[in-house]
Structure 1
């Protein structure tokens, strides 16, 4: 009963997290047909999936990995396509198996079919919060969302009114540095813009230097690692992720709104020199409207509130330096901040004098663009996804046939090897008198070894020759 209620939470139209209940919104950007739900559910009619009891298969897969330290792709694919049947007590075991599979050779390359199955199951079970954690941890789980599943996940979260988590999906696409797909790009624009102007957006967190008055503990190591901040996969601050995503999305729109998004994104991302350089470049174009007043104000706020670092502060020794210390080095000094403010103010005054600042509202413009453009691309995506699901079903059948074929080959090899052993034992028995001296010599060299001359008996090498002599 409890399990059924847990699985029905999504269907009832409510989401409960941390004691807060949110009603599900009815508005959605994609049509229901986009999910190809009917085609997706038809995969369960396959005998491969019908014959599997999920709970028993989960335990069997876990035990098999403990013995063989390996999982095949077809086994994990079957598990993933049955995840929608798991109950709350099986979630951790399923995630543990996904983590272990990531370390197997058969996990590469990452299959889109596997990611689709996991994402859709977690959506159905209302476990998107756990799903986002796994998606973020690429080394441990390897869940790289493709265009279709990212779009479905964002649309689902928008329908639930969960804009913040929808923006996290857009961050994942930003980390893959690919916004070429129109539907995914438009949805990312929508959720990131909504999150940008939302009231619940967290302030940017900057690592603070803290003084430790306690005793230092030194540990002997062979190599002192050099902390390195790649400014991409190492980004942890949500505002920086949002800023970089907005900057890349703005680059896909060659108009005033796109430039405004890039400017605001670089401000939140705290890349002030790059933003000023781009603004200078845009000022030299013949565009009637360069950026919006809204974006200029937001960039000003970001620049005015950014923390600064002391250029004369003592640099830590290599062994004591951390990634947070490297991040702090990217902050501007008070002199640099003042310089950026002066340069930006001059450019702003120039645009104002030339009348090239737009009063357009960025959020409204993006919302109108998304609602107008998305319907143009849905039909093509539905056709592609339908074909993909059918292909994945055929691939699953082919993989199972291949695995069964490999099992048959292995069994035949083992049977042949066993037959060879039996023939060798018979040959030793038949040629005993011819090789008696050689056998005795081998016994003297290795007295503890046993030479089995007759299969199936308990006699040792001393009993058999004595019995043969009596027969003679």
Structure 2
């Protein structure tokens, strides 16, 4: 009996660890799969529809946003993930990108989470290259991403996902805040750069560079060929490159991993008070390397003891690892201020900061999970209604366009028939129109011979009178 109890306890601990933060119910899997029961999606075969969309891209350079949304939501396996990424990129570069539905980005992220076999590098690459793909996290997909990466103990990639929320300035969702805070804090244990997470980006950049160089070479060859045909006296203007004034916006231009995580800490710290809020901000100023602001922050603390010892130790360790800052006065003053905080470590909060953050995350999930599940289920139903409405509007627009096209073709046919029927009555009018089109103002031929025009410039020779 005792052996049974021990086994049950072990099983219980294991199950708890597997869940970690979000429950299985949070995924709303049943509500998500119900989209496939829609009559619109049931009529679509993803493989055939993909080739149809590809043909439209090649011929017209764009596809309808609702058609693209139908294709993305109809996918239900991992067979076309590469084609999906390619199609998302093409859609982003087309004029229809501004009409992209919210359900499209959501579906792209969920497909990568469900079918990528725990290999999320491609998803992180797509999310990071916002200009080329235009896929953005919403609160729900951000929580799914963070929870899955935390379960896999991939804290570096989880911290990278948290920085996307910081760049979007979107920490209104309480679960987003806590999971991002936990991911970033765990990332500090081994704060390696994010660069190799985007290793495919370098390869794609090299390929893009090669393509652009080839296109440039072709353009140069064509321009050289045309230049040879020009008259030498003709003035030739050549576009030259010039340097623009450099500008660093300190937000989207951030590339340093520590700066990104530091700014994420500061964005999250605004939502907390007391020792936890102060500790988050201290780590933020340290990793963001905003030493002047960090000095003001420490000086503004009414109670210097309202800090966790772990946060002070992390700040001190990070400052000690920074090199080539001997001439930076702000760095020296900030280091001195942190050292003074460390000296009074006995009066600081001694509880583990990781445990505090973990408890807050579990509590936050418990308080908000059920409400968010209900809201997301309603959103799935709303998206299906929006898709139906947008599709009907597109069908109406296409039908209207086809009707106008048929009317134009009918008008053209009637005009041609009228011209044939009344040709002889309108012969002179037709001739005048032809002359205007061709620009030929010479007189008509008469009986197959061209009428000779009098030479106005002709001067008759002078004839002297003969003398008698």
TM class by shorter chain equals 0.7 to 0.9
Instruction: Pick from 311, 319, 322 the counterpart of residue 295 of structure 1.
Output: 311
Q: What is the CA-CA distance between 1:120 and the residue it aligns to?
A: 0.8
Which residue in the other structure is 2:413 paired with?
422
Please tell me whether the aligned partners of residues 309 and 342 of structure 2 are also in contact (alpha carbons under 8 angstroms): no
Which residue in the other structure is 1:250 paired with?
269
**CA deviation string 1:385-422 (max 9, x = no partner):** 01110011111111111111111111111111111112
Instruction: Pick from 50, 58, 65 the counterpart of residue 58 of structure 1.
Output: 50
Which residue in the other structure is 2:292 paired with?
273
Change over 3 Å in CA distance of 1:164–1:435 after alignment to 2: same
Q: What is the CA-CA distance between 1:185 and the residue it aligns to?
A: 1.2
SS at match of 1:291: coil
Change over 3 Å in CA distance of 1:373–1:85 after alignment to 2: closer
Alignment of 1:328-367 (within 5 A): 333-346=327-340, 356-367=347-358
Runs of at least 5 residues in structure 1 that lack an aligned partner in the other structure: 1-24, 206-219, 310-331, 450-472
Paired with 1:249 and 1:292, the residues of 2 have a C-alpha distance of: 17
**Residue 240, structure 1, aligned to residue 259, structure 2:** yes
**CA deviation string 1:72-94 (max 9, x = no partner):** 1111101211333351xx43332
Q: What is the CA-CA distance between 1:423 and the residue it aligns to?
A: 1.7
Change over 3 Å in CA distance of 1:204–1:337 after alignment to 2: farther
Q: Which moved more, 1:223-232 or 1:173-182?
A: 223-232
Return the TM-score normalized by structure 2. Answer: 0.75
Larger radius of gyration: 2
Q: What is the CA-CA distance between 1:448 and the residue it aligns to?
A: 11
**Residue 439, structure 1, aligned to residue 430, structure 2:** yes
Alignment RMSD (CA, Å) = 2.5
Please tell me whether the aligned partners of residues 54 and 85 of structure 1 are also in contact (alpha carbons under 8 angstroms): no
Paired with 1:110 and 1:308, the residues of 2 have a C-alpha distance of: 47
Change over 3 Å in CA distance of 1:258–1:343 after alignment to 2: closer
Paired with 1:240 and 1:55, the residues of 2 have a C-alpha distance of: 43
Q: What is the CA-CA distance between 1:336 and the residue it aligns to?
A: 4.5
Return the TM-score normalized by structure 1. Answer: 0.75
**Residue 101, structure 1, aligned to residue 91, structure 2:** yes
**CA deviation string 1:22-55 (max 9, x = no partner):** xxx7233111111211011011011211121111
Which residue in the other structure is 1:394 paired with?
385
Please tell me whether the aligned partners of residues 251 and 259 of structure 1 are also in contact (alpha carbons under 8 angstroms): no
Paired with 1:124 and 1:241, the residues of 2 have a C-alpha distance of: 27
Which residue in the other structure is 1:15 paired with?
none
Paired with 1:223 and 1:406, the residues of 2 have a C-alpha distance of: 45
**Residue 377, structure 1, aligned to residue 396, structure 2:** no
Instruction: Pick from 396, 402, 406 the counterpart of residue 405 of structure 1.
Output: 396
Runs of at least 5 residues in structure 2 that lack an aligned partner in the other structure: 1-16, 196-238, 441-468
**CA deviation string 1:173-226 (max 9, x = no partner):** 1111221111111211222222223xx431699xxxxxxxxxxxxxx9442122
Change over 3 Å in CA distance of 1:392–1:334 after alignment to 2: closer
Paired with 1:444 and 1:247, the residues of 2 have a C-alpha distance of: 76
Q: What is the CA-CA distance between 1:125 and the residue it aligns to?
A: 1.1
Q: What is the CA-CA distance between 1:343 and the residue it aligns to?
A: 4.1
Paired with 1:335 and 1:373, the residues of 2 have a C-alpha distance of: 41
Please tell me whether the aligned partners of residues 65 and 100 of structure 2 are also in contact (alpha carbons under 8 angstroms): no
Which residue in the other structure is 1:307 paired with?
323
Instruction: Pick from 139, 142, 154 the counterpart of residue 162 of structure 1.
Output: 154
SS at match of 1:70: coil
Paired positions, count: 380
Paired with 1:415 and 1:141, the residues of 2 have a C-alpha distance of: 37
Q: What is the CA-CA distance between 1:140 and the residue it aligns to?
A: 0.6
**CA deviation string 1:314-373 (max 9, x = no partner):** xxxxxxxxxxxxxxxxxx735553343334444655x56xx6422121101101111122
Paired with 2:22 and 2:92, the residues of 1 have a C-alpha distance of: 32
SS at match of 1:253: coil
Paired with 1:395 and 1:144, the residues of 2 have a C-alpha distance of: 19
Paired with 1:249 and 1:94, the residues of 2 have a C-alpha distance of: 33
**CA deviation string 1:226-253 (max 9, x = no partner):** 2322222122222222222122222211
**CA deviation string 1:63-119 (max 9, x = no partner):** 1111101121111101211333351xx433321221121123332265321111001
Q: Whose helix proportion is higher, 1 or 2?
A: 2
Please tell me whether the aligned partners of residues 204 and 239 of structure 1 are also in contact (alpha carbons under 8 angstroms): no
Change over 3 Å in CA distance of 1:111–1:26 after alignment to 2: same
Please tell me whether the aligned partners of residues 291 and 356 of structure 1 are also in contact (alpha carbons under 8 angstroms): no
SS at match of 1:108: helix
